Chains A and B, each alone.
Chain A
Amino acid sequence: MAYVLIIDDDEDFALAAQMVLVSHGHEVDIRTTTKNAIVNMERRPPDLVILDVMFPEDASAGFALARRMRHFSSRLADIPILLLTAVNSRFPLGFTERDLDDEWLPGDGFLEKPTDLGTLTMRVSTMLAPQSRLPEATQRGSHASSPDTSNRTLPEEAVGDPDKPTKIP
């Protein structure tokens, strides 16, 4: 089980993500402002941060927080960051996973909203794998408690991971 912190001003989305991640055995907290998130993280560093980029008070608060974690806090520097935002690279000033850069746009993964919660869970598990080092049995146990979702998918939803690196033939 890992401790995941969701930092997102959209509480409706964050609660849904929290419910799914909790059902997969993670402990999940939500912070709706980056200021509260910093206080929370200094008190208890999470194993993974799911970070929104644009906040009402500052459209780039997510970037600022990610840079602060990476470059100005030795305690938080190694925490994996999964960026999650409704903006994508199809707009000028938009960005995608390819734009992640340790100096300017630090992060370990990127997902675009709306995202499939299954994809989110899978991405969280992948990113936690090196850090969590949980026995497989524990993981299986926690997964066993989650509802059976094998036959219930939204029509035309993502089957694969949209952010998986593409091999161009």
Chain B
Amino acid sequence: METPKTNSEATYRIPLPTQEQALEGSTEPSTAGPLPEHLLLGNVFWFCKLRWAVIVILTVFGALSFLPGLFPRLGLRSPCYWPLATAGTLAAANMFFISQPGRRARGGDPFSGRVSLWSQITLDLLVLTAVVHCAGLRETSVHSAYLFHIVLACIFFSRTQSLLVTVMACALFSACIMAENTGALHASSVYASLASSRPSTLPNMRFIHGAVSTQLIWLVVWYLASHLSAMVRTRDSELAQTNQRLTAAQQERTRHLLLTTHELKAPFAAIHANTQLLANGYCGALPDKALEVVLRIGARSRRLGHEIQDMLQLANLSAPSQRDQPSTDIDLRDVLAWCVEQAQARAQERSVPLEYVPTSGPIRIRAVEDHLKMLFINLLTNAVNYSYGGGTVTLSCRPASCTTGLLVAVRDHGIGIHPDKLPRVFDEYYRTDEAVQHCRESTGLGLAIVHHIAQAHGLSVSVTSRLKEGTEFRVEFPNHMHKEPSSA
């Protein structure tokens, strides 16, 4: 984009999507690479903690070897210096690795998580090889500890990198065998009787066969562990991407809904305001017929404003992203009080008393709060709209039968609904002739919104009505949504 200058021509070109943006909608799974840097850094500390445990074990082992008579009684050589030397080396290395994030913070030359892990794994393999040699290459199973490193590498690194670690482990183990067999290194052992009994320089074919098969097993373990790890990582990556897309879609939809509502409602607010100027004589007296027309325009524009809101709410509820809205623990008592407060203005307009007797204790449920608010506001507004003037609308909440947790009822004393028409009242845009005659303000979408929300939450909604006497809508919450019994 060129920098615009005051009073000069400027050009803007819509930027092409980046590769990342272009792939956003793609459903191809990502390849399983190594863990991201921040996770690797977290694991650097975990490795260091594990290493402290090894240091403690080696130190205790080394210290015990100095106790007179203990090790000889166990058939072990005494004293042992190598465990203490190894523990010291590991402790120094650990201090260095732990200090790296601090150096990074002070602006020094930092180790990245990846470099730090590689350094640690290389050092550990070298130290382990030394321990394998000192403990006794042939007599002990310390070399099995190479497997820990191989499996950990499979988890934290890519397959190629973990193979490299496996090859390093095999190479160091083989080098140790070769060094002992060729006499380059004098074989040692923790066992007192075996340390000097067998000449180390003589090749032991049985042992070499065993060592080769051990390394083959390591390779098989590498193959299985790295394959499983790659599968898990691919799945994890797919889930993370899906979650990211859903969250982004939800945010975008909510923002879009808000902007669309504003853009569509604002013009009707202006029309409504200007019709009031005409109707109320701010622009001079109008003839009766003209006044009648203006009043009709005003009423219609106000109704359109409500319709737009209802239509957008319904469209939003029908969107797939709404099904994944997270439920939270809420107090239904607060939700109902809020809805009554919202509906109170409309009730005052129509001279309909609105009664709500809250329960004495909290009513804990798990649900999407916005959805419940929409549901009860629509039921209350509906009840107010179709009540006779002075006919009370009552909102009540009480524990239901043993199969359901809670029952919320909205009862009005209004025009009622003919029994034949009851099954259709939840249809979109459906309004009975009696309803239209009684209140032109209704959009015919309120109960459709109630229907959508009830279905999404598994709520049971029923309606009972008697013509010219009133209607009761009942919403039953299942037990699993209700967290504790209410005290009505």
Contacts and interface: CB of A to CB of B under 8 A. Distances in A.
Contacts of A87: 258, 261-262, 265
B266 A13 contact: yes
A116 B348 CA distance: 14
B313 A91 contact: yes
Given A10-B270, A90-B313, A92-B254, A154 B298 contact: yes
Contact of A166 (B266, B281, B344): B344
A118 B374 CA distance: 28
Given A16-B270, A113-B265, A159 B281 contact: no
Given A16-B270, A114-B272, A114-B305, A147 B356 contact: no
Interface in B165-224: none
B344 A13 contact: no
B355 interface: yes
Given A147-B282, A149-B280, A156-B349, A54 B262 contact: yes
Interface string B329-353: 0000000010011101110111000
A150 B295 CA distance: 15
A59 B273 contact: no
Interface string A100-122: 00000000000001111110000
Interface string A149-162: 10011111111111
Of the four ranges (under 10, 10 to 19, 20 to 34, 35 or more), the interface on chain B belongs to 35 or more
B277 A160 contact: no
A144 interface: no
Contacts of B255: 59, 93
Contact of B301 (A23, A114, A166, A168): A114
A52 to B, nearest CB: 9
A94 interface: yes
Given A156-B441, A162-B345, A12 B340 contact: no
B275 A154 contact: yes
Interface string B421-455: 00000000000000000011100000000000000
A86 B261 contact: yes
Contacts of A139: none
B259 interface: yes
Given A92-B254, A93-B255, A13 B282 contact: no
Nearest to A59: B259
B276 interface: yes
A91 B277 contact: no
A148 interface: yes
B258 A90 contact: no
Most chain B C-beta atoms within 10 Å of own C-beta, residue among A88, A157, A166: A166
A7 interface: no
A113 B295 CA distance: 18
Contacts of A156: 299, 302, 349-350, 439-441
Most chain A C-beta atoms within 10 Å of own C-beta, residue among B276, B279, B377: B276
B49 to A, nearest CB: 42
A1 interface: no
A147 B279 CA distance: 11
B129 interface: no
A55 B349 CA distance: 31
Contacts of A91: 254, 257-258, 261, 309, 312-313
B97 interface: no
A165 B370 CA distance: 21
Given A10-B269, A117-B273, A93 B342 contact: no
Nearest to B358: A168
A125 B302 CA distance: 24
A169 B357 contact: yes
Contacts of A158: 345, 349
A91 B369 CA distance: 11
B386 interface: no
A39 interface: no
Nearest to B286: A152
Interface in B246-305: 254-255, 257-259, 261-262, 265-277, 279-283, 291, 295, 298-299, 301-302, 305
B373 interface: yes
Given A85-B262, A87-B262, A152 B281 contact: yes
A86 B258 CA distance: 9
B273 A17 contact: yes
Contacts of B269: 10, 13, 86, 113-115
A168 B234 CA distance: 54
Contacts of B257: 91-92
Most chain A C-beta atoms within 10 Å of own C-beta, residue among B273, B313, B337: B273
A69 to B, nearest CB: 22
A164 to B, nearest CB: 8
Contacts of B313: 90-91
A166 to B, nearest CB: 4
Interface in A9-60: 10, 12-13, 16-17, 19-20, 23, 54, 59
B265 A152 contact: no
B266 A86 contact: yes
Contact of A19 (B277, B341, B357): B277
Nearest to A13: B270
Contacts of A12: 267, 270-271, 273-274
Interface string A133-155: 00000000000001111001111
7 contacts: A10-B266, A12-B267, A86-B269, A92-B257, A113-B265, A147-B280, A157-B298
Interface of B: 254-255, 257-259, 261-262, 265-277, 279-283, 291, 295, 298-299, 301-302, 305, 309, 312-313, 337, 340-342, 344-346, 348-350, 355-358, 370, 373-374, 377, 439-441
Given A12-B270, A157-B349, 11 more contacts: A10-B267, A19-B277, A20-B282, A23-B282, A59-B262, A90-B313, A90-B374, A114-B305, A117-B276, A152-B280, A154-B299
Among all A-B residue pairs, the 4 with the closest Cβ atoms: A162-B345, A113-B269, A12-B270, A86-B265
